[in-house]
Chain A
Amino acid sequence: MMAKAYTPGLLVTRHKTHRVMRRLPISGDVKVSLGDVVTADNIVAETALPGDVNPVNLSNQMSLPPKDVVDCMLKKEGDPITKDEPLAQTKGLFGMFKTTVNSRYAGTVETVSPVTGQVIIRGAPLPVQVRAYMGGTVVSVREGEGCEIEAEVAYVQGIFGVGGETNGHIMMACEAHDQEVTAGLITDDMRGAVVIGGARMTAESIEKARNVGAAGIISGGIDDQDLKNILGYDLGVAITGREELGITVIVTEGFGEIGMAERTFEMLQNHVGDQASVNGATQIRAGVMRPEIIIPLASAPADQADQDFEEGQLEIGRTLRVIRDPWFGMIGEVSGLPAEPAVLGSGSKARVLEVKFPSGETAIVPRANVELIEE
């Protein structure tokens, strides 16, 4: 009766239909239309972000009451102005003794306030371009806002990443899913590639990958100290994606010496040479975001595979991974699902399951500390 229960897991699938929303931060021009086929590097929308706002208090600078400022303006609202160009001039006495105020900023006169005597000069707009990120077909367009792109893809969710959206062709650095990624495995021909490793990646290997110009590096695990060295600070909260490291780093399993799930590794291995879109952005919070590796498929595979992917059903015989010490990272099979909560070594009571490791050993593990994986 208690054989089924929800346990969270990460999505790793050979095939799914995936949509990405490409949205401008503020409204602008969408460059594509419905049905267009785009590649990852195509610009699908662009706009200009309003520039910086610089207030200038003319009332004080000219020693005038605020309401008189408007009449003294040499530039009207909406006029462009360059640095050191006269902005306003007092009427002076009989046309003499005029005071001129020059602008200290370049931009456009946005407002002249008769209440505060303040003039706001807005700096030059900052262009923003949104790329397609994932190759596919434009399936919906929201005028002025953005568009949605759809493709048949192979899809891998990582557990944690740093760095933003990028893309490149897949190259393998490791031969096995439990092989450590060292700097020696990173070669010069990995420029622009998404490098796939096995187990823990060292700080040196990431550094090397960045130096050769790799777009991203993906592996099973990373040491926290190495992450700190790369970022330059101790990450407090898992909200990432805005780091400007020059490379996107994705961890598929966790921190420490942990190998990539075999299935994930094999799947990525099958796509060597294919273009992949990767994004390290992680937000482990409400509205969770996990890093992703998207590999658009040339054609949808005949077997509508992975439809049997049953999310989170714990059953005897299912393969799972322990995600907390003392068996952190070990993979085994569910061998028992006692219904009654059991007392743990810590003294707490929790619902547990029995797991059988390949070595034949069994262990009792809290259900909260396992994660299902697909074979």
Chain B
Amino acid sequence: MIKAVVLLLAAIAAPMSSLAAVIDLAPPTDVMASDMPNDVGTQMKVIWDLSPDDVTPRGDAPRRVTGYAIFRKVVPTPLGLESTAEAAADASEVGFPANFDFEYVQPVGSVAYGNSEFVDENVEREMTYLYAVIATGPRGSVSPLAQAETPVTAQMEYFNGGKFWFLIITLAISLVIVLFVLIAKRGGTVKVRPIAGLEAVTEAVGRATEMGKPVLFVPGILDINDIQTVAGITVLSNVAKTSAEYDALLKVPTARSLVMTTARETVEAAYLGAGRPDAYNEDNIYYLTDEQFGYTAGVQGVMVREKPAACFYMGAFYAESLILAETANSIGAIQIAGTAMPSQLPFFVAACDYTLIGEEFFAASAYLSNDPEQLGSLKGQDIGKVIAGALLIIGCLTATLATVTPTKVFKVTTLYIKDNILGKDGISLDQEKVTKIDIELEELTADPNPRGGDS
């Protein structure tokens, strides 16, 4: 009945304007809206069955249905709240008015033909909406409005069930970290692989002491806000402590004023910790220049003039890495480098005695301090990496197997890893997707020839 009225109205309205909609399409059916699960209440999902006119036309004939437009209407809730953003609507009536104007009311969204799903990402939490869909065609042809049966309220879920696996993994890693921290605190041994570069700090400083030469520490050319510089300063603290114990002269030229200040504080604290506050001289930690190559030239000058017996490069480095390392190599110094700059690592590895590579550099702090909390968290992170690595391997394996041998087990496993563990499907499998797999497999195992009806 409504259809007829709309048709009639449209027919009357059509001549009024050249752009007026012509209702000549069959509407989509079974429109249903539902609250999106696992969100904060700002999304709504609308599904429908395609319009009977939404088919691939024969020959060169144009498509009749080119898309769908989705409309919504706020339904007054018992609280009487109403979104101000909504178009004015007749609040007294549930449902779209009979004289719903396609042209003046903007749809909340549209999709192309063949689609039967739309996610409205712009709804307000706790508001109730009624949705309607029309099919649209070329030259303003439309279908009558197909309304959803019931209005739906957008709701927030406190738990995002789709990310359940994320929770499990997070909890597992946290638990492992806490466990290792506890073990470490109880005096248990948290074994950390010896990092040659850090073990060698005493050796390098010792060499400088025996040779009566200074120790040179270069904290990179970036400012203190770079995480690599921070890691470098951690290592500096250890180098300074060893230098204080061995009574070796430590020189730290910096490229940033803030790094200089931080380095001074760090070194002074280290000397104090080693019981040698009198041996600390802040003039040995100085600022050169912000200029990359000005700084490099300055450091090189120190190397050539004072011939340090041990050089440390800990921080962020660019083109100067090899210049510094080669110069120090030529004066016979033990060199220990640490950086997370992938492009500079090969240079350091080749030219230096020891190199801390990426992760090792960041683990230095835990390694050097032997602090149970840091060691425990280091160990926990390692477990996390093991889990990630294991998933990666299993995923690759099953995905490959699923492609090579079309077995349901592999396909489902791949699906589970992809959409459940790493995706948003939560703890249990999406049965629809499983059905889809079943169908695919059936098609493959069934008669390879296309079925009659489709040809």
Contacts and interface: CB of A to CB of B under 8 A. Distances in A.
Q: Answer yes or no: A and B touching, Cβ < 8 Å.
A: yes
Contacts of B283: 63
B262 interface: no
A63 B282 CA distance: 8
Nearest to A118: B278
Interface in A53-68: 55-61, 63
B416 interface: no
A56 B278 contact: yes
Chain B binding surface SS class = helix
Nearest to A60: B281
A60 B279 CA distance: 6
Nearest to B279: A57
Contacts, number: 14
Interface in A300-331: none
A209 to B, nearest CB: 39
Interface string A266-280: 000000000000000
Interface string B269-283: 000000000111111
Contacts of A55: 278
A116 to B, nearest CB: 9
A63 B280 CA distance: 10
Nearest to B281: A60
Interface in B274-309: 278-283
A63 B278 contact: no
Q: Choose among A57, A59, A60, A61 the residue with the greatest number of B CB atoms under 10 Å from its CB.
A: A60
Interface in A9-66: 55-61, 63
A315 B44 CA distance: 114
B82 to A, nearest CB: 75
Contacts of A63: 281-283
Nearest to A101: B278
B295 to A, nearest CB: 24
A56 B282 CA distance: 16
Q: Choose among B278, B279, B281, B282 the residue with the greatest number of A CB atoms under 10 Å from its CB.
A: B278
Contacts of B281: 59-60, 63
A55 B283 CA distance: 21
B281 to A, nearest CB: 4
14 contacts: A55-B278, A56-B278, A57-B278, A57-B279, A58-B278, A59-B281, A60-B278, A60-B279, A60-B280, A60-B281, A61-B278, A63-B281, A63-B282, A63-B283
Given A59-B281, A60-B279, 12 more contacts: A55-B278, A56-B278, A57-B278, A57-B279, A58-B278, A60-B278, A60-B280, A60-B281, A61-B278, A63-B281, A63-B282, A63-B283
* Minimum-distance CB pairs A-B, first 9: A60-B281, A57-B278, A57-B279, A56-B278, A63-B283, A61-B278, A60-B279, A60-B278, A60-B280
